[in-house]
Amino acid sequence: MRAGLAIAASIVLFASCNLDNSDEAMHLSMQIGAVNDSLTWYGKQWSDELKVAVNSKDFSELPMIRSKMEAFIDRNVNEIKQMKDVGGSKDLREAELNLLYFDRDSVLPKFRSFESFNSNPNIKNAGYDEVYENTLTQTYTSLIKTLQGEEAKLKKVYDLRDKYADDNDFPKPIDK
């Protein structure tokens, strides 16, 4: 009888540990999802302001949004580096870090290149419009190519979050 109770207690304890681990794993996955949601929000803010800047030829608001995004990325790189491994999260955390590094090292410099348009005194000169349009188009095309690389990295994070959910027995996120 005692052996049966000990076995039952062991099974309950083991099951509750797995549930705790599953809850922790789901929390980690949600944290990473929240980082990506915020990055998307910052990107949308910047993109909306870029539309205004192109039409008004006033790019002075772009640095503020970019610098906030840069601080957000740096803060989250540090937080993700500090996360403990829960339920085999190493690949997911590394993929998220790779995405953040890519945004910091590749996307943000492209954002920064638009800021230089504001420092050009000829930008408001009507004769300068053709040069302005050509340079703006080239800068925008370069940004779009870079963002395509970001999409591939984000897809990898989404795929790893799905696998991580399966491996840790919690529902897959629906944030794609």
Q: What is the pLDDT of residues 88-115, one digit of tens each?
A: 999 999 999 999 999 999 999 999 999 9
pLDDT tens-place string over residues 130-139: 777 888 999 9
- Is 18 domain-assigned? yes
Residue 175 within a domain:
no
pLDDT, tens digit (0-9, with 9 covering 90-100), for 2-42: 445 444 434 443 443 444 688 999 999 999 999 999 999 99
Residue type, 135: T
User: In terms of residue numbers, what domain contains 140?
Assistant: 2-167
What are the C-alpha distances in Å from 90 to residues 28, 86, 100, 157, 175? 11, 8, 15, 12, 21
Q: Is the pLDDT of residue 43 over 80?
A: yes
In a domain, 174, yes or no: no
Residue 112 within any structural domain of the chain: yes
Q: The whole model's pTM is what? A: 0.83
Q: So what's the pLDDT on residue 27?
A: 95
H or E stretch covering 19:
helix 2-56
Domains identified in the chain, total number: 1
For residue 31, is it within any domain? yes
